[in-house]
Amino acid sequence: MTVKLEISDPQGEMKTLLESVKDGNEVVISSGGKVVARVSPVVGGRVDRSQIFGAMKGKIVMADDFDTLPEEELERWYK
Protein backbone atom coordinates (compact mmCIF):
# COMPACT_ATOMS: atom_id res chain seq x y z
CA MET A 1 0.00 0.00 0.00
CA THR A 2 1.23 3.50 -0.78
CA VAL A 3 0.91 6.11 1.95
CA LYS A 4 1.05 9.79 0.99
CA LEU A 5 2.67 12.09 3.52
CA GLU A 6 2.85 15.87 3.28
CA ILE A 7 5.97 17.01 5.11
CA SER A 8 5.84 20.36 6.83
CA ASP A 9 8.13 19.42 9.72
CA PRO A 10 10.50 16.69 8.43
CA GLN A 11 12.05 15.84 11.79
CA GLY A 12 8.68 15.62 13.51
CA GLU A 13 7.26 13.40 10.76
CA MET A 14 10.23 11.00 10.55
CA LYS A 15 8.89 8.60 13.18
CA THR A 16 5.53 8.36 11.40
CA LEU A 17 7.28 7.79 8.08
CA LEU A 18 9.54 5.03 9.42
CA GLU A 19 6.70 3.26 11.23
CA SER A 20 4.67 3.17 8.05
CA VAL A 21 7.63 1.78 6.06
CA LYS A 22 8.27 -0.82 8.79
CA ASP A 23 4.65 -1.92 8.35
CA GLY A 24 5.46 -2.69 4.70
CA ASN A 25 4.05 0.45 3.13
CA GLU A 26 5.68 2.58 0.48
CA VAL A 27 5.60 6.23 1.50
CA VAL A 28 5.41 9.05 -1.04
CA ILE A 29 6.67 12.29 0.48
CA SER A 30 5.52 15.62 -0.85
CA SER A 31 6.28 19.19 0.03
CA GLY A 32 4.01 21.99 -1.07
CA GLY A 33 1.94 19.49 -3.03
CA LYS A 34 4.95 18.36 -5.10
CA VAL A 35 6.25 14.79 -4.74
CA VAL A 36 9.90 14.90 -3.64
CA ALA A 37 10.71 11.32 -2.56
CA ARG A 38 9.51 7.75 -2.34
CA VAL A 39 10.55 5.50 0.57
CA SER A 40 10.09 1.73 0.23
CA PRO A 41 10.62 -1.07 2.72
CA VAL A 42 13.62 -3.35 2.28
CA VAL A 43 12.37 -6.84 1.45
CA GLY A 44 13.87 -9.64 3.56
CA GLY A 45 16.32 -7.27 5.24
CA ARG A 46 18.37 -6.98 2.05
CA VAL A 47 18.46 -4.46 -0.76
CA ASP A 48 17.30 -5.85 -4.10
CA ARG A 49 20.55 -5.43 -6.06
CA SER A 50 18.71 -5.57 -9.40
CA GLN A 51 17.10 -2.23 -8.54
CA ILE A 52 20.40 -0.41 -8.05
CA PHE A 53 21.45 1.81 -10.95
CA GLY A 54 24.42 0.28 -12.72
CA ALA A 55 23.95 -3.21 -11.23
CA MET A 56 24.00 -4.79 -14.72
CA LYS A 57 27.11 -2.90 -15.91
CA GLY A 58 29.26 -5.20 -18.02
CA LYS A 59 26.56 -7.89 -18.21
CA ILE A 60 24.61 -6.52 -21.15
CA VAL A 61 26.10 -6.37 -24.63
CA MET A 62 24.50 -4.39 -27.45
CA ALA A 63 25.55 -4.94 -31.05
CA ASP A 64 27.02 -1.92 -32.85
CA ASP A 65 24.27 -2.13 -35.46
CA PHE A 66 21.32 -2.67 -33.07
CA ASP A 67 19.49 0.35 -34.50
CA THR A 68 20.27 -0.29 -38.16
CA LEU A 69 17.35 -1.25 -40.39
CA PRO A 70 17.32 -2.25 -44.05
CA GLU A 71 16.15 0.52 -46.42
CA GLU A 72 12.96 -1.41 -47.21
CA GLU A 73 12.00 -1.48 -43.54
CA LEU A 74 12.73 2.24 -43.10
CA GLU A 75 10.54 3.04 -46.11
CA ARG A 76 7.63 1.14 -44.53
CA TRP A 77 7.97 3.16 -41.32
CA TYR A 78 7.93 6.52 -43.07
CA LYS A 79 5.04 5.95 -45.52
Q: What distance in Å separates the CA atoms of residue 70 and residue 58, rounded to the nearest whole number?
A: 29
Neighbours of 71 (CB within 10 A): 7
In the predicted model, what is the mean pLDDT of residues 23-50?
79
In this structure, how many other beta carbons lie within 10 angstroms of the beta carbon of residue 24? 10
Top-confidence residue, 63 or 31: 63
Provide the 3-class DSSP secondary structure of residue 6. strand
pLDDT above 80 (res 23): yes
The CATH label, of 1.10.1740.10, 3.40.1620.10, 3.40.50.300, 1.10.1060.10, for the domain at 1-45 is 3.40.1620.10
Domain extent listing, the chain: 1-45
User: At 39, is the pLDDT very low, low, confident or very high (cuts 50, 70, 90)?
Assistant: confident
The pLDDT of residue 79 is: 78
pLDDT at 25 (0 to 100): 86
Indicate whether 71 pLDDT > 80. yes
CB 26 within 8 A of CB 41: yes
What is the pTM (predicted TM-score) of this model?
A: 0.43
